[in-house]
């Protein structure tokens, strides 16, 4: 795996634009390239495209979309940009956050109106840090459905996706220009394809334990809930080519993956007043700051587990999500009527748990303040029937990556762009700042869809100029 320097290398097969990775970023980039009138080939290592996109909740951020207007939701790019910047405590790339927020409505409108992706504005609940109902999702509200819709659009546009094509090496000339790639097939055969521009849409390094240990040791031992094929190839190729990388210690965690079945519990269970207790029946954090930072709070508890306790309000919203229904069906979420039954499930002293629940109720009535800083007065008190799930913290998605400009061009440390290399989605530096607490829900697919589209448009324009 690496960079092979060549001069005057010819290829039997070539495309103006090559894209590595057939997740949301690769699909959106490919659609944009094709729309700009250039040919494009997508190379995907898996036999069936999946990526983290298909494992995701499929919630796509967009501010000021036609769908929101039709639903009477007031939202603007400024609101979304501000949410992204505030969540990352002003430690992300603010210019990128503003640009991506400003382009987000166009991406959603384009996916819906031009490519028939059946997104709808989501209004059931508001994720932490969202100042408006920014989310959009397909009817099943699943990443798998989103990816199928994107691939249907890619197929309808006449774009070829080459499957079982694991790109191992990039061919570059002395000035860093990428002239092609080498890929390996499952039978061990090797193929080479030339290009005028390359888009890295092969996500981050969540599937690479060695890179996790190097860059994010705190989460390296946790369960990784993303796509294991994301091995950090973009970062490693970029580094070899002299690219800059940033925020490598940053990640999207999730503080509620049901264990041992490893299904992620809908976050509405928390936003609607739910709490988390440890094996002693005690709360240990402000659960509603954000699901990303909650991962390390949970992992820090005895045995690295906790129990999420919620009631019908969270349950009614969560049951709209396919993975939550699946967790209910297999009994990974239990419904009970009394605190004593919850204590039995947790294995803690029922008096301690009752005291925890009474504390929360008192905080909800405004009689007490929370030592962890959560305001419980905005939601009604938890009431029977209760729902309980044993959860752990997990890594969803790395947020560090290649520095890119506003068109997805990969940058060197001095800010100049590499000749013809682009990156988007999880391959590029995210909008989350340096750590786990800066991830605003939905910003993963935002960077995949919108930066993918922008990179595709820019790569197409670059190759059109080369061709002229």
Ligand X SMILES: Cc1cc2nc3c(=O)[nH]c(=O)nc-3n(C[C@H](O)[C@H](O)[C@H](O)COP(=O)(O)OP(=O)(O)OC[C@H]3O[C@@H](n4cnc5c(N)ncnc54)[C@H](O)[C@@H]3O)c2cc1C
Please give the structure tokens belonging to residue 329.
């069906």
Nearest distance from C-beta of residue 51 to ligand X, angstroms:
3
Residue 150's nearest CA partner among 252, 37, 295, 49 is 49
Per-residue b/e over 31-69, b at no fewer than 16 CB within 10 Å? bbbbbbebebbbbbbbeebbbbbbbbbbbbbbbbbebbe
Nearest distance from C-beta of residue 35 to ligand X, angstroms:
18
Q: Cα Rg for the chain, rounded, in angstroms?
A: 23
Q: Which spans in 19-93 are helix H?
A: 24-35, 51-55, 66-70, 77-87
Q: Is 398 in the site for ligand X (CB under 6 A)?
A: no
Question: Which of 99, 130, 151, 264 touches ligand X by CB under 6 A?
Answer: 264
Closer CB to ligand X, 359 or 407, in the complex = 407
Nearest distance from C-beta of residue 383 to ligand X, angstroms:
29
Q: Is 409 in the site for ligand X (CB under 6 A)?
A: no
- Binding string, 95-134, against ligand X, x = CB under 6 A? ----------------------------------------
Question: Which of 248, 321, 445, 454 touches ligand X by CB under 6 A?
Answer: 445
Binding window for ligand X (CB under 6 A); candidates: 47-55, 85-93, 291-299, 375-383: 47-55
Query: Counting runs of H as helices and runs of E as strands, what totals does the chain give?
Result: 16, 21
Closer CB to ligand X, 142 or 288, in the complex = 142
Could you give the CA distance from residue 219 to residue 295 in angstroms, rounded to a whole number? 9
Q: Is 57 in the site for ligand X (CB under 6 A)?
A: yes
Q: Is 87 in the site for ligand X (CB under 6 A)?
A: no
From residue 220, give the alpha-carbon distance in Å to each of 9, 207, 247, 351: 40, 10, 16, 36
Closer CB to ligand X, 255 or 426, in the complex = 426
Question: Which of 16, 58, 62, 249 touches ligand X by CB under 6 A?
Answer: 58
Residue 30's nearest CA partner among 158, 196, 204, 192 is 158
Residue 259's nearest CA partner among 346, 343, 332 is 332
Please name the residues in contact with 378: beta carbons below 8 A apart, sequence gap of 6 or more.
none
Nearest distance from C-beta of residue 1 to ligand X, angstroms:
8
- From first CA to last CA, the distance across the chain in angstroms is 33
For tokens 């459905």, the residue is 145
For tokens 């400024």, the residue is 78
Q: Between β-strands 263-264 and 251-258, what pairing exists: parallel, antiparallel or unpaired?
A: antiparallel
Q: Return the residues of window 138-177 that contact ligand X according to CB under 6 A.
A: 143, 166-167
Please name the residues in contact with 76: beta carbons below 8 A apart, sequence gap of 6 or more.
63, 64, 132
Q: What angle do CA 421, 244, 33 make, to 5 degrees?
A: 20
Q: Is 24 in the site for ligand X (CB under 6 A)?
A: yes
Q: Is 255 in the site for ligand X (CB under 6 A)?
A: no
Q: Return the residues of window 178-217 that contact ligand X according to CB under 6 A.
A: 201-203
Q: Is 425 in the site for ligand X (CB under 6 A)?
A: yes
Nearest distance from C-beta of residue 340 to ligand X, angstroms:
33
Closer CB to ligand X, 227 or 297, in the complex = 227
Q: Is 392 in the site for ligand X (CB under 6 A)?
A: no
Closer CB to ligand X, 330 or 371, in the complex = 330
Closer CB to ligand X, 167 or 195, in the complex = 167
Instruction: Quote the distance between the C-alpha of residue 52 and its chain's center.
Output: 7
Binding window for ligand X (CB under 6 A); candidates: 20-28, 169-177, 313-321, 346-354: 20-28
Q: Is 453 in the site for ligand X (CB under 6 A)?
A: no
> Which residues in this chain contact ligand X in the complex, by CB under 6 A?
20-26, 43-46, 49-53, 55-59, 143, 166-167, 201-203, 225-227, 229-231, 233, 264, 396-397, 425-426, 442, 444-446, 448
């Amino acid at each position: 795996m690496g960079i092979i320097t060549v001069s005057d290398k010819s290829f039997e097969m070539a495309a103006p634009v090559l894209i590595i990775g057939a997740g949301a970023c690769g699909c959106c980039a490919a659609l944009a390239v094709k729309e700009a009138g250039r040919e494009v080939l997508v190379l995907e290592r898996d036999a069936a495209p999946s990526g983290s996109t298909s494992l995701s909740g499929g919630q796509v951020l967009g501010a000021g979309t036609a769908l929101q207007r039709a639903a009477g939701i007031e939202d603007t790019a400024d609101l979304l940009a501000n949410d992204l910047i505030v969540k990352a405590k002003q430690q992300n790339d603010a210019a990128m956050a503003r640009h991506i927020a400003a382009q987000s409505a166009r991406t959603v409108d384009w996916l819906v109106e031009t490519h028939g992706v059946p997104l709808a504005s989501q209004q059931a609940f508001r994720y932490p840090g969202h100042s408006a109902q920014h989310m959009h999702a397909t009817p099943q509200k699943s990443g798998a459905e989103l990816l199928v819709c994107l691939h249907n659009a890619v197929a309808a546009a006449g774009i070829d996706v080459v499957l079982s094509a694991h790109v191992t090496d990039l061919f570059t000339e002395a000035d860093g220009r990428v002239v092609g790639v080498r890929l390996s097939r499952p039978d061990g055969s090797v193929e080479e394809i030339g290009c005028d521009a390359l888009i890295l849409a092969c996500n981050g390094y969540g599937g690479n334990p060695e890179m996790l240990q190097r860059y994010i040791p705190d989460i390296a031992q946790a369960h990784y809930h993303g796509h294991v094929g994301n091995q950090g190839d973009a970062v490693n190729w970029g580094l070899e080519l002299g690219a800059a990388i940033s925020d490598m210690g940053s990640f999207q965690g999730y503080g509620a993956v049901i264990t041992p079945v490893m299904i992620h519990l809908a976050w509405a269970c928390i936003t609607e007043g739910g709490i988390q207790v440890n094996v002693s029946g005690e709360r240990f954090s402000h659960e509603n700051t954000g699901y990303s930072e909650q991962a390390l709070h949970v992992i820090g508890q005895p045995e690295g587990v906790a129990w999420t306790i919620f009631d019908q309000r969270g349950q009614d919203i969560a049951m709209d999500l396919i993975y939550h229904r699946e967790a209910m069906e297999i009994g990974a979420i239990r419904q009970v009527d009394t605190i004593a039954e919850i204590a039995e499930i947790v294995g803690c002293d029922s008096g301690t748990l009752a005291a925890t629940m009474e504390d929360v109720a008192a905080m909800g009535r405004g009689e007490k303040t929370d030592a962890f800083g959560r305001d419980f007065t905005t939601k009604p008190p938890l009431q029977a029937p209760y729902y309980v799930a044993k959860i752990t913290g997990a890594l969803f998605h790395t947020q560090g990556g290649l520095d890119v400009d506003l068109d997805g061009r990969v940058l060197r440390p001095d800010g100049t762009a590499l000749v013809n290399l682009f990156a988007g989605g999880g391959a590029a530096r995210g909008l989350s700042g340096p750590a786990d607490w800066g991830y605003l829900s939905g910003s993963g697919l935002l960077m995949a869809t919108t930066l993918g589209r922008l990179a595709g448009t820019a790569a197409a324009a670059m190759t059109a100029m080369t061709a002229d």
